[in-house]
């Protein structure tokens, strides 16, 4: 089989790249290990806790025991399905803060400043606020990726934003527009009541052009001859074969699998490869290093009125929600229920938000278990820019073996201070007048947990990953010894090989990573095609004028 370009992974970035290459008339083969995204559990936004807990759709990675979290192993789901993690995620759409990308540029990812990436966000978006406000000048209107907002008709969802204002925080009508900082509505990758994944937006139309071939297979390694990637070795139907690429191989296999495949192909830290008997093609110390993630806590409050989604948390309620969604694509099932957002700064002297909130009008765990208490609400809260760094390393040279994933969560002393701040700021928000008609007792941590030691124990036992791993194939200057790819996503030291997914982020961005991952695919496609990047957009983001002197 012969293609000009072989893309490994039909996920957020890979689908976008396939679409843009097909649009330019290139012949592309996309290889994906997972299967179809058909079925109500993926398509119904309200059912989001199911696919990410199903081995059919999820690679099922988990971290090594995390010393900072009492030796717990944390789930690290990655999508193993058409659309990748965009088919099993929470559908929250966040671009990231403008200064995140200016930081990338300053770290050596030249040409990835906010002015450079904003045009790609506009190109990918098909934005519909549905009459719910927003910032049209900052948004794209005709891209493949549909972005919408929930109805926000639950009173708790509105109370959260009002409480933020009462606590003295700014409001923002569009955190993806000029002003991220503040309380306001969430954007979601939902279209007409259904999940709108990268597969639907990009790969499905790309396949329809006839320029893209989709192969179901398990990629074992990249084939490299005389320092050049010439194809990939895959296993399918019990046989091993080579899928050749006449021009380039592009890894878009996730921040866990992309570094794994590089190392299995001889690209990575020489000593680590040698320890597994892998011949070194390119000694790149940064492969698998620089692993970052967002951790979060669920601060839960009981509700004294039956206003939460708990009323549907029974067999009859779920049947009603499911039936209504199945026949009309409306109702509770048509929303991911993350409808109110907040991005705030933890203290004076922090230039842009470093705490994110997802508000949920029910007290529930990510595995779908509702709090036994009954009616309640919760805020998912966590710091955005932890200084802790981990690594993805090989467990063995066997491609079938899962890699070792060690985040080193909470290994930096500032993490503890930041999380205690998150808990205390959340309690203050929940104590505002807006919640007075609904507020019962604090379910967790519990009102008696107030000392640093008590809060630290709660963090250790209850912090959960927000499922935003990134950074393991860092993009940087070609002379940076820890950079894996250059600013055009080319693997340094190997010809004809690129990586384009969240693994190339030099530093984690504010918020959920699906948006930046798709943007990465969009921008990488122009580099692959040798096109002039889109013209810079010098729109100026809002930075709190009092950031040096005040927290809000």
Last residue of a domain, one of 420, 435, 462: 462
Catalytic annotation present for 468 = yes
- The answer to whether residue 548 is domain-embedded is no
Six-digit token string for 151: 């109805």
Last residue of a domain, one of 434, 462, 490: 462
Pairing of strands 267-268, 282-283: parallel
Whether residue 507 sits in one domain with residue 479: yes
Domain that holds residue 249: 1-65+74-132+197-286+471-537
Average pLDDT of the residues in 309-331: 95
Whether residue 158 sits in one domain with residue 208: no
CATH number at residue 376: 3.30.410.40
Q: Look at residue 366 and tell me whether its pLDDT is greater than 90.
A: no
Which listed residue (33, 191, 358, 468) is catalytic? 468
* Range with the poorest average pLDDT among 156-170, 371-385, 537-551: 371-385
Distance CA 105, CA 100 (A): 9
- The answer to whether residue 44 is domain-embedded is yes
Whether residue 455 sits in one domain with residue 333: yes
Split at pLDDT 50, 70, 90, the class of 134 is confident
Whether residue 118 sits in one domain with residue 13: yes
Whether residue 493 sits in one domain with residue 448: no
- The answer to whether residue 305 is domain-embedded is yes
Distance CA 116, CA 184 (A): 26
Spatial contact of 156 and 319, defined as CB atoms under 8 Å apart: no
Q: Look at residue 145 and tell me whether its pLDDT is greater than 80.
A: yes
Whether residue 95 sits in one domain with residue 11: yes
Q: Judge whether 211 is annotated as a binding position.
A: no
Distance CA 346, CA 103 (A): 19
- The answer to whether residue 490 is domain-embedded is yes
Whether residue 494 sits in one domain with residue 414: no
Average pLDDT of the residues in 209-228: 98
Which pLDDT belongs to residue 70? 98
Which pLDDT belongs to residue 367? 64
Cα 123 to chain center, whole Å? Answer: 19
Whether residue 338 sits in one domain with residue 249: no
Reported as a single tens digit per residue, the pLDDT across 411-459 is 999 999 999 999 999 999 999 999 999 999 999 999 999 999 999 999 9
Q: Look at residue 372 and tell me whether its pLDDT is greater than 70.
A: no
Number of domains forming the structure of the chain: 2
Last residue of a domain, one of 418, 440, 462: 462
Q: Judge whether 117 is annotated as a binding position.
A: no
Q: Judge whether 91 is annotated as a binding position.
A: yes
- The answer to whether residue 314 is domain-embedded is yes
Reported as a single tens digit per residue, the pLDDT across 500-526 is 999 999 999 999 999 999 999 999 999
Q: Look at residue 1 and tell me whether its pLDDT is greater than 60.
A: no
- The answer to whether residue 394 is domain-embedded is no
How many other CB atoms are found less than 10 A from the CB of residue 452?
A: 10
Q: Look at residue 493 and tell me whether its pLDDT is greater than 60.
A: yes
Whether residue 268 sits in one domain with residue 122: yes
Q: Judge whether 90 is annotated as a binding position.
A: yes
Mean pLDDT of the chain: 96
**8-state DSSP, 186:** P
Average pLDDT of the residues in 44-50: 94
- The answer to whether residue 393 is domain-embedded is no
Which pLDDT belongs to residue 136? 87
Whether residue 209 sits in one domain with residue 158: no
* Range with the poorest average pLDDT among 57-61, 349-353, 363-367: 363-367
- The answer to whether residue 544 is domain-embedded is no
The model's pTM: 0.98
Q: Look at residue 371 and tell me whether its pLDDT is greater than 80.
A: no
Whether residue 158 sits in one domain with residue 278: no
Average pLDDT of the residues in 57-83: 97
Whether residue 437 sits in one domain with residue 299: yes
CATH number at residue 23: 3.50.50.60
């Amino acid at each position: 089989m012969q293609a000009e370009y072989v893309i490994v992974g039909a996920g957020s970035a890979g689908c976008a790249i396939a679409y843009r290459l097909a649009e330019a008339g290139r012949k592309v083969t996309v290889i994906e290990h997972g299967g179809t995204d058909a079925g109500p559990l993926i398509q119904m936004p309200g059912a989001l806790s199911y696919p990410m807990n199903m081995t059919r759709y999820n690679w099922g990675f988990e971290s090594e025991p995390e010393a900072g979290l009492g030796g717990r192993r944390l789930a690290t789901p990655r999508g193993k399905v058409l659309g990748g993690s965009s088919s099993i995620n929470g559908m929250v759409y966040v671009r990231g803060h403008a200064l995140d990308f200016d930081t990338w540029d300053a770290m050596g990812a030249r040409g990835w400043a906010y002015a450079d990436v904003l045009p790609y966000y506009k190109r990918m978006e098909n934005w519909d606020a549905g009459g719910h406000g927003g910032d049209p000048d900052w948004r794209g209107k005709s891209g493949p990726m549909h972005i919408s907002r929930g109805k926000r008709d639950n009173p708790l969802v509105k109370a959260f934003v009002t409480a933020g204002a009462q606590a003295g925080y700014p409001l923002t009508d569009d955190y993806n527009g000029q002003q991220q900082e503040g309380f306001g509505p969430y954007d979601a990758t939902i279209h007409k009541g259904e999940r709108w994944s990268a597969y639907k937006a990009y790969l499905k139309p790309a396949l329809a052009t006839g320029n893209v071939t989709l192969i179901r297979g398990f990629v074992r390694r990249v084939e490299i001859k005389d320092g050049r990637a010439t194809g990939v070795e895959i296993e399918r139907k019990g046989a091993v074969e080579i899928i050749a690429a006449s021009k380039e191989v592009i890894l878009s296999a996730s921040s866990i699998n992309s570094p794994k495949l590089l190392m299995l192909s001889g690209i990575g830290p020489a000593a680590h490869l040698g320890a597994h008997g892998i011949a070194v093609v390119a000694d790149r110390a940064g492969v698998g290093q620089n692993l970052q993630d967002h951790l979060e806590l669920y601060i839960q409050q009981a509700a004294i009125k039956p206003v939460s989604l708990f009323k549907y948390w029974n067999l009859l309620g779920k049947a009603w929600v499911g039936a209504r969604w199945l026949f009309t694509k409306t109702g509770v099932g048509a929303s991911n229920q993350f409808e109110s957002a907040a991005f705030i700064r933890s203290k004076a002297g922090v230039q842009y938000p470093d705490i994110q909130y997802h508000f949920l009008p029910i007290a529930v765990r990510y595995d779908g278990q509702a709090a036994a208490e009954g009616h309640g609400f919760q805020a998912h809260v966590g710091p955005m820019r932890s200084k802790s760094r981990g690594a993805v390393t090989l467990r063995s040279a066997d491609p079938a073996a899962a890699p070792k994933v060690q985040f080193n969560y909470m290994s930096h002393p500032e993490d503890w201070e930041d999380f205690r701040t998150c808990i205390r700021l959340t309690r203050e928000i929940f104590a505002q007048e807006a919640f007075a008609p609904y507020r019962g007792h604090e379910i967790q941590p519990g009102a008696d947990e107030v000392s640093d030691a008590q809060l630290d124990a709660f963090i250790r036992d209850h912090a959960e990953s927000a499922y935003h791993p990134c950074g393991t194939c860092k993009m940087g200057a070609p002379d940076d010894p820890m950079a894996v790819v250059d600013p055009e996503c080319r693997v340094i030291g190997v010809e004809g090989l690129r990586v384009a997914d969240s693994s190339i982020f030099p530093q984690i961005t504010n918020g959920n990573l699906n948006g930046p991952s798709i943007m990465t695919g969009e921008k990488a496609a122009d580099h692959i095609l040798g096109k002039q990047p889109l013209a810079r957009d010098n729109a100026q983001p809002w930075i709190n004028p009092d950031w040096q002197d005040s927290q809000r």
